[in-house]
Amino acid sequence: MRYLLPLLILLCMPCSIYAQVTLNQGDYPATLSETDTLKRTTAASAFPSLSLTASGVWDMSTITDSTPILLNYRVFSLPYDYDDSTTTFRFVGYPYQGNIKSLVSSTSISEQGVFTYDTSYDIVALTISVGDSLFFPAQNITYSSGRKKVVFPAGYGSSWSSNYVSDFNFGLNYAFYSYHHTPGIVRSYVAESDSVTGWGKMRVPDIAGSPSPYWDVVQISSRIIRRDSFMLNDSAMPGAVLTGFGLYQGRPDTTYEQNYYRKGEYTPLASVAFRDAAFTQPYKAITHAQRLARLSVLNEQVQGDIRAYPNPLSGNSLTIIAPKASTLICYKLFNLSGVVVTEGQANLHDASGQINLPHNLSSGVYLLQITEDGNAISALGIQVNR
């Protein structure tokens, strides 16, 4: 009897040892069906421990998120397998948007470059001269070789590296230097080293800010060293202009990242930036509330794909297809500020049901959260066109 009590206590404790998680090429579908994700960005927060460890448990659900932003991603785009839409970049403090172009091969998931949109700015705050401007033409930025995000099989202890060069074109109007639509180039030399430093379970905030289920993830840690060269009119940018823009020729800029991937996911469940090479000082994160279906800890069976149509929507009625849900689901429709604009219940017949939305719903992008028995089983992006 004296041995029975400790045994019972041991059996009742949550198990902290899981089967090792490895990403393999076979985990990724041949066709791309999912097209929406919810990105929640954390600018500053109290972070949990994100130690480099096997059989780890990382709870990102405690971070303080900003307003949810719904973005399209994984859009099929020849000659690439998919792209991440409306990703934001910066040059001398001015933002511009683009789509990251990526490929999935038998050996890796890799970024091939970025397509950017036409953007321009008045830069009088920098030059103190009315009419001065900086503009970024729409362009395809192509890497000299792919940036390898995941190399198969990505198992504990595996590592790889990427080295690539890319050119970003810009134009400058700067009256003091007689620059008028003067073409410029930022040539970037990037050296990246990646390694699988852990695996285990992670959860993140869902659309409502509640903890998601714990998911099996692989932890990939990265060190990225970037050196930029700046040119104007095919010559090195003058030192005075560099100083005015706060730029340095060839200066190494080192960043550290952790990315946590689920099997079959091209975009990390969580991406965290660190100030130090030991990955102990996190300061920024992006988490993704995409397909945060209910997960059974015992058998890890996930709800099947859930769809809504028509999408885009011009009327007021949505049809929901939920192959593995019960006969009753609940829903909430959020706008991009995270405000619930409508909610209710829907009865399913033969795995489908109708949701009626408000007649006064304005055009825009919304997030439809579907729950079953109090658990979120899907988050769908809905485009409304009036």
d(CA 146, CA 195): 17
The span from the CA of 319 to the CA of 309, in Å, is 5
Summarize pLDDT for 357-368 with one digit per residue, the tens: 998 888 877 878
127 Rama sector, left if φ>0, alpha if ψ -120 to 50, beta otherwise: alpha
Whether the predicted pLDDT of 4 surpasses 60: no
pLDDT at 136 over 90: yes
Region 48-57 average pLDDT: 94
May I ask the CATH class of domain 307-384?
mainly beta
Q: What is the pLDDT of residue 304?
A: 45
Q: Residue 163, exposed/middle/buried by CB under 10 A (0-12, 13-18, 19+)?
A: middle
What pLDDT score does 79 carry? 75
> Confidence class of residue 352 from pLDDT cuts 50, 70 and 90?
confident
Q: In the chain, what percentage of residues exceed pLDDT 70?
A: 81
Q: How many residues does the chain have?
A: 386
Report pLDDT digits (tens) over 317-328: 998 888 777 788
Give the model confidence (pLDDT) of 168-210 as tens digits: 999 999 999 999 999 999 999 999 999 999 999 999 887 667 7
Q: Which range has the top average pLDDT, 58-72, 96-110, 157-171, 369-383?
A: 157-171
- Spell out the domain ranges in the chain: 16-288, 307-384
- Cα separation, 260 vs 201, in Å, equals 10
**pTM of the model as a whole:** 0.75
**Residue 91: per-residue pLDDT:** 95
